[in-house]
Amino acid sequence: MKALILGAGAIGTVVADILSKRQEFEEVILADLNEETAQASIKRIGDPKNVSVIVMNADDVVDMKRGMKSVDLVINATLPRFFLKIMRACFESGSNYMDLATDLGLAGKDRAGQKVDRVPIDLQLEQDEAWKEAGLSAMLCWGGDPGAVNVFARYAADKLDHVDQVLVRDGDNSVIEGFDGFVSFWSPDTFIEEVGFMKPLIWTDGHFERLPSLSKSEFWEFPAPVGKLRVWTVDHEEPETLGRYIKGCKECNFMLSLSDETVDVLRMLTKLGFVSPDPIVVKGVKVVPRDVVTACMPSTVDPRFQGKVKGSTCVGAMVIGQKGDKRISHYVYNIMSHEEANRLHKATATAVQTAIPPSAAATLLARGTINKKGVFPPEALDPKPILDAFTEFGFTWHEITK
């Protein structure tokens, strides 16, 4: 199979590293708007002979189509705002498509407490029939979370007679030696959008609803070595699909661990208007406030952090429901240490945890194990072959039933 990875950031680089070592992929192309960035990524993973670099503009459908000729699969590892254009370019090029998230910003101006009828991922799911007719697959949200946790949730739900709740939790106890600035371990732009700008979406009593930003938190006991952390409801993709694809699910929400300092900074940035993606005029020049913040934050591939991130991260899904006459909670999760991720891929656990699931799914597509056509999220598939692939790729998962 010939695969093109669009986006040479931390995650795209790890995906390229993994696929370059798989016999299922005779050619891997790493595409980015900045050729120097892509070349640096290739050197970081050892300059494999079957990986090439091209320049591609994710904001230009015509330009992307030129680079997608004869490509079997495009893995989208760019910013969410480009997703619909990339998906269109793939469809018109006859390439299968995979992404790691969706464009949450498409929700627009939904108000807190408001019942929501249509969510951002619907703009992709509504293309299902067209992709089926074209004989193509569009695999949505295949990162760690969303992605692996959706597979975990489906696997746990299949063990129960009836599902009431799906609780997705992401916890990280990491620190960066010698650094005291404001940092995100994934795209700073996406981080600010999900946590500070967007109002969190939840699935409750069979419908979607939004909460005020940074308004709900709780303490969650993650398995060792992560431990007990305070988690916050933030906007994320999982409730957009899990509540509807897992039959009978009444409640679904996503919560992310955030330090008190991070919450304070984000609240202040929100009050000052710095989380906004809408341009303002400053001394006669149009400036996007959020761009100012992200420009001051370090990149996810900043060499200053190489090997200095310590700690572990956990992504998992707890499914609560009924099995016979017993009330059951089934928790499935993955834990990865930043030290191990750096040793294996010269990246943080956040990047590696996000990169392995799409790499495994891409391999299953190449093998023909995944042969579903149309547009679908991970939980639409049988989870067992996917979990087997996770194990094969070193993405160790665990389960706890109570």
Q: What is the pLDDT of residues 338-396, one digit of tens each?
A: 999 999 998 899 999 999 999 999 999 999 999 999 999 999 999 999 999 999 999 99
Q: Rounded CA gap, 150 and 143, in Å? A: 10
Kindly report, residue by residue over 98-110, the tens digit of the pLDDT. 999 999 988 766 6
Give bridge partners of residue 322 from the DSSP assignment. 162, 327
Residues 95 and 181 in one domain: no
Please tell me what DSSP assigns to residue 196. I
Residues 213 and 283 in one domain: yes
In a domain, 251, yes or no: yes
Contact 157, 321 (CB under 8 A): yes
Provide the residue range defining the domain that includes 153.
148-347
Position of tokens 């679904």? Answer: 252
Burial class of residue 376 (count of CB atoms within 10 Å of its CB; 0-12, 13-18, 19+): buried
pTM score: 0.94
Phi, psi for residue 320 in degrees, rounded to 5: -115, 130
Q: Is residue 391 part of a domain?
A: yes
CB 8 within 8 A of CB 37: yes
Note the pLDDT of residue 114.
72
Please tell me the total count of domains within the chain: 2
Q: Measuring CA to CA, which residue among 105, 34, 128 is closest to residue 275?
A: 105
In a domain, 190, yes or no: yes
- Distance of alpha carbon 51 from alpha carbon 329, whole angstroms: 44
Q: Is residue 106 part of a domain?
A: yes
Backbone angles phi, psi at 223, to 5 degrees: -60, 155
Residue 226 maps to a domain: yes
Q: In terms of domains, do 189 and 120 share one?
A: no
In terms of domains, do 220 and 336 share one? Answer: yes
Residues 387 and 333 in one domain: no
Of the residues 347, 368, 386, the one at which a domain ends: 347
Domain harbouring 20, CATH code: 3.40.50.720
154 with 136, same domain?
no
Q: What is the pLDDT of residue 351?
A: 93
H helix count then E strand count, the chain: 14, 21
- Report how far Cα 380 is from the mean position of its chain's Cα atoms: 17
Distance CA 246, CA 249 (A): 6
Say if CB 225 and CB 218 are below 8 A apart.
Answer: no
Last residue of a domain, one of 347, 368, 383: 347
pLDDT in tens, 115-149: 888 999 999 999 999 999 999 999 999 999 999 99
Asked if residue 374 lies in contact with residue 399, where contact means CB atoms within 8 angstroms, the answer is: no
Indicate if 299 and 373 belong to the same structural domain: no
pLDDT tens-digit profile of 91-100? 999 999 999 9
17 & 60 share domain: yes
Enter the DSSP assignment of 274.
Answer: T
Q: State whether 68 and 98 are in the same domain.
A: yes
Identify residue 18 by its one-letter amino acid code: I
CATH of the domain at 180: 3.30.360.10
Question: What is the DSSP annotation of 33-54?
Answer: S-HHHHHHHHHHTT--TTEEEE
By CB atoms closer than 10 A (0-12, 13-18, 19+), residue 286 is: exposed
Q: In percent, how much of the chain has pLDDT > 70?
A: 98
pLDDT tens string 177-187: 888 888 888 88
pLDDT in tens, 210-260: 999 999 999 999 999 999 999 999 999 999 999 999 989 999 999 999 999
Collect all residues with Cβ–Cβ distance below 8 Å to 191 and sequence separation of at least 6.
184
Residues 361 and 291 occupy one common structural domain: no
Beta bridge partners of 281: 286
What pLDDT does 109 receive?
Answer: 66
Q: What integer best gives the mean pLDDT of the chain?
A: 94
CA distance 182 to 272: 16
Residue 402 covered by a domain: no
DSSP 278: S
Buried b (16+ CB within 10 A) or exposed e, 205-243: eeebbbbebbeeeeebebeeebeebebbbbbbbbbbbbb
In a domain, 155, yes or no: yes
Cα diameter, the chain? 68
> What letter does residue 204 receive in the DSSP assignment?
E
Same domain, 84 and 210: no
Note whether 50 and 180 are same-domain residues.
no
- CB-count exposure of residue 89 (10 Å: 0-12, 13-18, 19+): buried
Kindly state the tokens that stand for 34. 């900045």
Provide the residue count of the chain: 402
Helices (H), 165-237: 188-192
